[in-house]
């Protein structure tokens, strides 16, 4: 079975934020601190994973016209649950993230993978796809949060990194800094993908030549 | 009247929903093509925002707030916001099919759009009155349209440039352009707020 491929390819080659340009808004607006990036990433991963399960199980019951609306209701219900849990467990960070917790429900990533993938695919690939998409988003958010917080504020998860109030680059915590960093990450991802594709191409070409020689 | 103008101009110029709050950056990058098409999409999003504000505000004032149902807010609001976007796309499809085709986009980027949902939640958080909420949505929509038309021009320039490094072609260059636009905008809005106050 190759179902785990749906998980691995979503992390680098089809990363939801860096390649598919979905969910740029939370990725830029929330990652001013690493902890809020981590919280929102976990929330999105949970909502995505939990709501793709009923969506794929009920795909034969829901009539074609009501698919979008019923998926929206499923996603909204899980987002509400996640918000309640986060408020009781991590009240301070949830307050910081603010309106982006409710906005998980209209996040392009969640909607595209629930509405586009779950309704046409069996259970196991859907679960792997949900997990992979969420993990790809979570990794981007944590990476951006760590870089932006350590450069802009001189702290990491609230602990100060340098002596005194030194900051390397206060620009990093502003909104343009977030866009800038996201663009650099997307370019890096594109570069890595191109290199790996070239390597694979070379490998297959070499194999073919060897086959020719041996035949 | 004065308050309404202040609320609207704040949403267009100072608190621009895309460039100062990063809401709705995904449709901005995906949908902006020519200036005309971008304006069409922007106006559709504006109507969806007004519809979402019209629907959600009374629910919050007369049902959620009096009975302390804050934990229930997301579950009530998201379907309503989706309904507003769906109504706008349905009306557009019926009333102006050529206009709808010229937009050339799938409906869910309008109905399920961070900017549309965000403005409904922001209006409630700021405690605006009903008319202020509607005008704030109108201002946010106009700000979104403006950003989209500006970005369409930048996207045209990027697509036709031939000296961009290989790794930056396409999406990374668009995001970089958005970063520069947002930087310019924040500078202008700081200057404007200093000038006003």
> Would you say residue A172 lies in a domain?
yes
Which residue reads 């909607």 in tokens?
A: A111
High-pLDDT (> 90) share of chain A, %: 24
Task: Among A22, A102, A175, select the one facing B182 at the smallest CB separation.
Answer: A175
**Residue A183 covered by a domain:** yes
**Does A46 reside within a domain?**
yes
ipTM, 2 dp: 0.86
3-state secondary structure of A120: coil
3-state secondary structure of B105: coil
Domain that residue A196 falls in: 4-158+168-214
Asked whether the predicted pLDDT for residue B169 surpasses 70, the reply is yes
Q: Which of B25, B169, B173 sits opposite A28 (nearest CB)?
A: B25
pLDDT (tens digit per residue) in B57-104: 998 888 888 888 878 888 888 888 888 888 888 888 887 777 766 665
Contact A99 B122 (CB under 8 A): yes
CA of B1 vs chain A CAs: smallest distance (Å)? 29
Substitution target from A97, A140, A186 for chain B, most B beta carbons within 10 A: A186
Shortest CA distance from A186: residue in chain B: B172
Cβ-based contacts of A22 with chain B (< 8 Å): 26
- pLDDT (average), residues A63-79: 86
Q: What is the pLDDT of residues B16-61, one digit of tens each?
A: 888 888 888 888 887 777 888 888 888 888 988 999 999 999 988 8
pLDDT at B108: 61
Asked whether residue B8 is domain-assigned, the answer is no
Q: A32 and A148 in contact (C-beta within 8 Å)?
A: yes
B153 located within any domain: yes
Q: Indicate the residue of B77, B167, B183 with minimum beta-carbon distance to A176.
A: B183
Q: Give the number of beta-carbon pairs within 8 Å between A and B.
A: 140
Please give the structure tokens belonging to residue B183: 């930087």
**If you search the block for the tokens 């987002």, which residue do you land on?**
A79
**Subunit contact A99:B172, Cβ cutoff 8 A:** no
Domain assignment present for A133: yes
In chain B, which residues have their Cβ closer than 8 Å to the Cβ of A99? Answer: 118, 121-122, 125
DSSP A135-179: HHHHHHHHHHHHHHHHHHTSEETTEE-SSTT--S-GGGGSHHHHH
Report the chain A residue with the minimal C-alpha distance to residue B172: A183
Task: Give the Cβ contact number of residue B127 at 10 Å.
Answer: 8
Q: Has residue A18 been placed in a domain?
A: yes
pLDDT tens digits, A127-176: 888 888 999 999 999 999 999 988 888 888 878 877 777 777 888 888 88
| A16/A80: higher pLDDT | A80
Run of H or E including B36: helix B35-59
CB contact under 8 A, B78 and A102: yes
Residue A88 lies in a domain: yes
Cβ-based neighbour number of residue A11 at 10 Å: 17
- How many C-beta neighbours within 10 Å does residue A112 have? 19
Say if A163 falls within a structural domain. Answer: no
B17 contacts B121 by C-beta, under 8 angstroms: no
Cβ atoms of A118 and A55 within 8 Å: the answer is yes
Place of tokens 């408020």: A87
> Number of folded domains in chain A?
1
Question: Which residues in chain B touch residue A174, judged by CB atoms under 8 angstroms apart?
Answer: 186
Q: How many domains does chain B have?
A: 1
Q: Nearest Cβ partner of B175 from A105, A175, A182? A: A182
Residue A122 has which token pair?
Answer: 């069996």
- CB contacts of A107 in chain B (<8 Å) are 114
- Pair B87, B111: CB distance under 8 Å: no
- Put simply, the answer to whether B168 touches A187 (Cβ < 8 Å) is yes
Do the beta carbons of residue B134 and residue B143 sit within 8 Å? no
**A89 within some domain:** yes
Q: What range defines the domain where residue B174 resides? A: 19-196
What local confidence, expressed as pLDDT, does residue A38 receive? 92
Asked if residues B150 and B114 have their Cβ atoms less than 8 Å apart, the reply is: no
- Predicted confidence (pLDDT) per residue in B118-166, tens digit: 888 888 888 888 888 888 899 999 999 988 898 999 888 888 888 888 8
CB contact under 8 A, A24 and B170: no
**Integer Cα distance of A52 and B62 in angstroms:** 33
Task: Give residue A10's pLDDT.
Answer: 78
Contact B117 A108 (CB under 8 A): no
Instruction: Give the closest residue to B116 by CA, choosing from A102, A95, A70.
Output: A102
Model pLDDT, residue A110: 86
Tell which residue, B155, B162, B137, B159, has the closest CA to residue B17.
Answer: B137
Please tell me the number of Cα atoms within 13 Å of A53 on its side-chain side: 7
B171 with A68: Cβ contact below 8 A: no
d(C-alpha B139, C-alpha B10), whole Å = 8
Whether A80 sits inside 8 A of B71 (CB atoms) is: yes
Nearest to B27 by CA among B183, B151, B170, B195: B151
């Amino acid at each position: 079975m190759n179902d785990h491929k749906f998980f691995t390819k979503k992390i680098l080659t089809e990363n939801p934020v860096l390649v598919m340009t979905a969910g740029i808004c939370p990725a830029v607006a929330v990652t001013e601190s690493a902890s809020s990036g981590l919280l929102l990433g976990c929330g999105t991963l949970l909502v995505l994973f939990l709501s793709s399960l009923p969506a794929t199980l009920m795909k034969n019951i829901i009539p074609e016209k009501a698919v979008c609306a019923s998926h929206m209701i499923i996603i909204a219900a899980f987002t509400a649950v996640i918000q309640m849990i986060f408020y009781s467990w991590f009240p301070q960070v949830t307050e910081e993230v603010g309106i982006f917790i409710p906005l998980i429900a209209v996040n392009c990533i969640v909607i595209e993978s629930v509405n586009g993938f779950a309704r046409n695919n069996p259970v196991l690939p859907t679960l792997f796809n949900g997990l992979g998409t969420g993990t790809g988003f979570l990794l981007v958010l944590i990476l951006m949060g760590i870089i932006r917080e350590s450069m802009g504020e001189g702290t990491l998860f609230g602990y100060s990194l340098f002596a005194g109030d030194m900051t390397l680059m206060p620009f990093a915590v502003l909104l343009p800094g977030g866009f800038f960093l996201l663009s650099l990450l997307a370019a890096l991802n594109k570069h890595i993908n191109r290199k790996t594709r070239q390597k694979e191409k070379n490998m297959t070409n070499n194999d073919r030549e060897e086959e020719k020689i041996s035949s | 009247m004065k308050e309404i103008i202040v609320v609207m101009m704040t949403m267009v110029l100072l608190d621009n929903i895309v460039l100062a709050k990063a809401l709705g950056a995904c449709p901005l990058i995906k949908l902006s093509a020519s200036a005309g098409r971008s304006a069409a999409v922007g106006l559709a999003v504006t109507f969806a925002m007004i519809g979402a504000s019209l629907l959600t505000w009374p629910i919050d004032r007369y049902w959620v707030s009096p009975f302390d149902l804050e934990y229930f807010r997301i579950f009530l609001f998201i379907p309503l916001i989706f309904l507003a976007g769906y109504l706008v796309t349905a009306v557009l499809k019926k009333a102006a099919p050529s206009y709808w085709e010229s937009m050339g986009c799938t409906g869910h980027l309008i109905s399920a759009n961070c900017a549309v949902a965000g403005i409904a939640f922001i209006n409630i958080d700021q405690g605006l009155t009903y008319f202020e909420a509607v005008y704030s949505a109108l201002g946010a929509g106009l700000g979104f349209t403006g950003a989209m038309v500006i970005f369409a021009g930048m996207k045209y320039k990027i697509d036709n440039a031939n000296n961009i490094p290989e790794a930056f072609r396409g999406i990374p260059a668009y995001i970089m352009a958005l970063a520069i636009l947002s930087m310019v905008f924040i500078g202008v809005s700081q200057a404007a707020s200093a000038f006003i106050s």
